[in-house]
A and B are shown apart, each in its own frame.
Chain A
Amino acid sequence: MSDDVVTPEDVRHVAGLARVDLEDDEVERFTEQFADILAYFETLDAVPEVDSEAELTNVMRPDEVRASLETAEALQNAPDHEDDYFKGPNVS
């Protein structure tokens, strides 16, 4: 079992980091579920150290000018825009 008991404050904290508002009943439900799920994740402690070499190579292409989305197409799904710009809320 987990040494760390998940608290409602933990759930509110990660919800804040993830920018998702939660209702009180959601906090209560997630607190309970996260305790179960995180306890299950802790069985990863039993996994031995494994040497792995990732076979990764960079994929490059020439940096050439090419057509991209038209401004009107890029804006077509935006709830709000002004001239050629997306319009978002105040930063602070």
Chain B
Amino acid sequence: MSDDIFITEATIDGESDGPLAGKQVAIKDNISTDGVKTTCGSKMLADYVPPYDATVVERITDAGGTIVGKTNMDEFGMGTTTEMSYFGPTDNPAAPGHVPGGSSGGSAAAVAAGAADLALGSDTGGSIRCPAAFCGVVGIKPTYGLVSRYGLVAYANSLEQIGPIAGTVEDAATLLEVIAGVDERDGTTRDPPQGDVAYSDAADGNVDGLSIGIPTELLEGAEDGVVDAFWDGIEQLESQGATTHDVSLPSVEHAVEAYYVIAMSEASSNLARFDGVRYGHSGGFDGNWNETFAAGRAEGFGDEVKRRILLGTYALSAGYHDKYYKKAQNARAWVKQDFDSALEEADVLASPTMPVTPFELGESLDDPLQMYLADANTVPVNLADLPAISVPVGDADGLPVGMQLVGPAFGERQLIRAGSALE
């Protein structure tokens, strides 16, 4: 059952006591584990063994959690289906024959299949929320800066966060509480303005008086079955005392292109480190520095990774920087502004997590642009640095559907409370 979920199965014992005692935790394979291979789903790092633990891994074992393995993922986090893994695809335990979503597909599948109680994913443009929605489980993308990324192999560092995936909102909140908080090894971490990082007690299902904004733009492109399941979920919240109103976020029409320009640009820089000298696939080629690196990287990286490195290099190159990168940063500021003003009138914003249900395995590999467009509802949240949760809201023709709730910066407690009312 779990042979396509984990790239490496290995046990790292935790302390005997703590909030995660007795819990089995799966870790996405781009999060460093001391002495246990961390491949990023890539041939480039197929044999890489980190000499240190990521901060989140230390915090989990200190809290009593036992690590059970490193989960499959799209290579370096670049994908929406987990089919971009060098190690092959992962089946969706909640919808066999379909993709589990991505890029943290192995982590969501591990929870859905019962191969782990909890899992960590990373979310650069939806990579926790998409697989959570596709596998019928809960995923949280924390506010930028809430969770340390020390030991996370970088893809697009101005956008990504590590976050929990679990079977229930309360379990996800418990794991978030363990991993959240300032880390002196990651200068981008901040403590929430309200001080403590306490989340597990927020899953009380109390939405009486909660004001929910529904961005009309994020419903427009969604499949009918997804929209139906979404409205069923909204009704469930309204019946418990929540109120809803429409909001408009005109900037999100440009979020996908802004996201991909920024993510690819950052990727082209972050992945420049893989030269096969200090670590990673070298290929053992003859020639000078430039020739051997180019030959080794050609062997080590898959198609999607090459595509993003090249497009990012293009977007940053002389003459194109202002045309693409600068405009994308401007669009990012616009998206932030839009979300901030919508969240002045609402406690949370709700939309379908994904506009589509899980693709059939192998269905979507040929057209990268179509694949990017599937991220329309998740990428704006990363551009705006905000927190979001994906919670299951039934199915469309038997395929899982998730509702995404977005909150203000460091508003995780509100999201957990609202999300738990859907269970």
Which residues of A are at the interface with B, using a C-beta cutoff of 8 A?
A: 10-11, 14-22, 26, 30, 33-34, 36-38, 40-41, 43-52, 59, 61, 69, 73-74, 76-80, 86-92
Contact = CB atoms under 8 A, between A and B. Distances in A.
A76 to B, nearest CB: 6
B265 to A, nearest CB: 11
A40 B367 CA distance: 13
Given A69-B51, A77-B48, A14 B317 contact: yes
Interface string B153-190: 00000000000000000000000000000001001100
B47 to A, nearest CB: 8
Contacts of A74: 51, 278
A77 to B, nearest CB: 4
Contacts of B328: 41, 44
Contacts of B187: 59
B248 interface: no
B49 interface: yes
Contacts of A30: 306-307, 310
B254 A43 contact: yes
B333 A52 contact: yes
21 contacts: A15-B294, A17-B313, A20-B309, A30-B310, A33-B369, A40-B369, A41-B261, A44-B254, A44-B261, A46-B254, A49-B330, A50-B333, A52-B336, A59-B187, A77-B51, A78-B278, A78-B279, A86-B278, A89-B277, A89-B288, A92-B288
Complex A-B, nearest 4 residue pairs according to Cβ-Cβ distance, in ascending order: A52-B333, A77-B279, A73-B51, A21-B298
Contacts of A73: 51-52
B284 interface: yes
Interface of B: 47-49, 51-52, 184, 187-188, 251, 254, 257-258, 260-261, 268, 272, 275-280, 282, 284-285, 287-295, 297-298, 301, 303, 306-307, 309-311, 313-315, 317, 324, 327-328, 330-331, 333-334, 336-337, 368-369, 372
Nearest to A54: B333
A20 B291 CA distance: 9
A52 B288 CA distance: 45
B277 A79 contact: yes
Contacts of A90: 288-289
Nearest to B45: A77
Contacts of A33: 307, 368-369
Nearest to A37: B369
Contacts of B309: 18, 20
A71 to B, nearest CB: 11
A87 B289 CA distance: 11
Contacts of B310: 11, 14-15, 18, 20, 30, 34
Given A40-B369, A69-B51, A79 B276 contact: yes
B337 A52 contact: yes
Given A30-B307, A90-B289, 5 more contacts: A15-B310, A19-B275, A51-B333, A69-B51, A89-B292
Given A49-B330, A73-B51, A20 B306 contact: yes
